[in-house]
């Protein structure tokens, strides 16, 4: 669909109608309970495979209790940006724990993972620099890259040969190579060891977004760089508290001076109210639990293998590179995708219908992520709710 201007009420009403007719309109659907194994929506109970709460920590009583206790002490909101009045011991305790988790000197917490990505890239790169981004990088990395004013060079997904050619031709300014560690809409992993050596050879800084690796991948949930044996060799790691940790907020881990620079120059950190202290306290408890409870990662992985095998037997084309915590069922066009998602919802299973512009046109898909706290029987029921692939009607 052609992008047109949205400069008047009639223009956006017209544009919205075009979106609706193309089966691209997204709508909100309020839940009446937490983002747990089962979601309550529109009076019904749905098996929840649409959440990023991979380890089931969002409603863990210990995490909720930590938030409650912190709220009694600090109230609900931070009351100001961290540099003014919004800094608390809860933020610093969490930052110490996150730095330890990632094996770095320091870390800094942001109000969301989105804010962290935007704030980090725009504070590090400037118009003199060049940024090399995997074409499937998350939108927040793309937005941060654009905001930096640096020259952007997208490289084909995980294509090291193309990246090397672009780096060979780079100018004298600073160079940054930017990638997700786990691509959440393709369920595959970035080749981090090769990226570490290539960035070293080309004197480029490697910036990785471990949003979907932190907590679910590697021993103690240390994330994808640790899983691939390059923890400590990535100068800038961004992550989120909102997925496997089940809370909310984002963070950056790196050297002490990197963090000092961001405290001074990262606009989404400086000019925004600090993360609510209760969320910082909840995230600290969630990190401690997730590090100790290895069974959560093992079980989430087992569920994903069960889903992959079951859907493969039904004839679906499935994307999933273990240990990615999600998988994608390829559906093609938006109508077919919505039909399948609606069919599943009618059978009590909640999934995400992923369409353009989140993914390429014609490459729509259904995204599924199990939680550690689901049971094997629930995962089996989810597979049983799928019709054979050949029976999903085309548009």
Binding site for ligand PLP (CB under 6 A): 112-114, 117, 138, 140, 180, 184, 209, 211-212, 240, 242, 250
Smallest separation, CB 21 to ligand PLP (Å): 27
Catalytic residue chosen out of the listed positions 148, 184, 272, 352: 184
Nearer to ligand PLP, 226 or 252 (CB): 252
Nearer to ligand PLP, 129 or 180 (CB): 180
Residue 107 falls in the annotated catalytic set: no
Residue 157 falls in the annotated catalytic set: no
Smallest separation, CB 140 to ligand PLP (Å): 5
How many residues make up the chain in this entry?
Answer: 395
- Write a three-state SS string for the chain: CCCCCCCCHHHHHHHHHHHHHCCCCCCCCCECCCCCCEEEECCEEEEECCCCCCCCCCCCHHHHHHHHHHHHHHCCCCCCECCCCCCCHHHHHHHHHHHHHHCCCEEEEECCHHHHHHHHHHHHCCCCCEEEEECCCCHHHHHHHHHHCCEEEEECCCCHHHHHHHHHCCCCCCEEEEEECEECCCCEECCHHHHHHHHHHCCCEEEEECCCCCCCCCHHHCCHHHHCCCCCCCCEEEEECCCCCCCCCEEEEECHHHHHHHHHHCHHHHCCECCCHHHHHHHHHHHHHHHHCHHHHHHHHHHHHHHHHHHHHCCCCEECCCCCCCEEEEEECHHHHHHHHHHHHHCCEECEEECCCCCCCCCEEEEECCCCCCCHHHHHHHHHHCCCHHHCCCC
Smallest separation, CB 97 to ligand PLP (Å): 17
Which residues make beta-bridge pairs with 107? 253
Catalytic residue chosen out of the listed positions 91, 102, 153, 243: 243
Which residue sits closest to ligand PLP, CB atoms considered? 113
The CA-based angle 231-235-238, given to 5 degrees, is 80
Residue 374 falls in the annotated catalytic set: no
Start-to-end C-alpha separation, the chain: 17
| CA 23 from centroid of its chain's CA atoms | 25
Catalytic residue chosen out of the listed positions 212, 303, 320, 374: 212
Q: Tokens 């923890």, residue?
A: 231
Nearer to ligand PLP, 312 or 357 (CB): 357
Nearer to ligand PLP, 250 or 323 (CB): 250
Nearer to ligand PLP, 212 or 339 (CB): 212
Smallest separation, CB 250 to ligand PLP (Å): 5
CA distance 37 to 51: 9
Nearer to ligand PLP, 104 or 240 (CB): 240
Smallest separation, CB 211 to ligand PLP (Å): 4
CA distance 213 to 313: 28
Smallest separation, CB 351 to ligand PLP (Å): 16
98 near 84, Cβ under 8 Å?
no
Smallest separation, CB 128 to ligand PLP (Å): 26
Smallest separation, CB 238 to ligand PLP (Å): 7
Nearer to ligand PLP, 371 or 392 (CB): 371
Nearer to ligand PLP, 154 or 348 (CB): 154
Please give the positions annotated as active site: 184, 212, 243
């Amino acid at each position: 669909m052609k992008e047109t201007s949205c400069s008047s009420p009639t223009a956006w009403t017209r544009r919205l109608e075009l979106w609706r007719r193309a089966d691209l309109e997204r709508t909100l659907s309020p839940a009446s309970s937490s983002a747990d194994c089962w979601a309550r929506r529109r009076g019904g109970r749905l098996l929840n495979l649409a959440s990023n709460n991979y380890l089931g920590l969002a409603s863990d009583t210990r995490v909720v209790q930590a938030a409650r206790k912190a709220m009694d002490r600090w109230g609900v909101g931070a009351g100001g940006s961290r540099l003014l009045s919004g800094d608390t011991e809860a933020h610093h305790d969490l930052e110490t724990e996150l730095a330890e988790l990632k094996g770095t000197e320091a870390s800094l917490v942001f109000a969301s993972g989105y804010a962290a990505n935007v704030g980090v890239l725009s504070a590090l790169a400037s118009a003199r620099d060049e940024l090399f981004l995997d074409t499937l990088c998350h939108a927040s990395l793309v937005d941060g890259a654009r905001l930096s004013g640096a020259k952007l060079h997208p490289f084909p997904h995980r294509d090291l040969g193309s990246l090397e050619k672009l780096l060979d031709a780079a100018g004298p300014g600073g160079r940054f190579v930017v990638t997700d560690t786990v691509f959440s809409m393709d369920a595959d992993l970035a080749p981090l060891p090769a990226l570490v050596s290539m960035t070293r050879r080309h004197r480029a800084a490697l910036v990785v977004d471990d949003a979907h690796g932190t907590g679910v991948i590697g021993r103690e949930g240390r994330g994808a760089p640790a899983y691939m044996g390059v923890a400590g060799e990535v100068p800038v790691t961004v992550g989120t508290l909102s997925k496997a940790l089940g809370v909310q907020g984002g963070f950056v881990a790196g050297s002490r001076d990197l963090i000092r620079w961001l405290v001074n120059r990262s606009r989404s950190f400086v000019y925004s109210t600090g993360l609510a202290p209760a969320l910082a306290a909840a995230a600290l408890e969630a990190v401690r639990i997730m590090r100790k409870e290895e069974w959560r990662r093992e079980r989430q992985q087992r569920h994903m293998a069960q889903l992959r095998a079951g859907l493969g037997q039904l004839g679906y084309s499935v994307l999933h590179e273990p240990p990615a915590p999600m998988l994608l069922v390829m559906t093609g066009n938006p109508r077919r995708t919505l039909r399948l998602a609606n069919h599943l919802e009618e059978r009590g299973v909640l999934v995400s219908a992923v369409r353009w512009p989140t993914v390429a046109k014609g490459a729509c898909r259904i995204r599924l992520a199990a939680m550690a706290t689901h049971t094997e029987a629930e995962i089996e029921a989810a597979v049983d709710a799928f019709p054979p692939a050949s029976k999903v009607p085309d548009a």
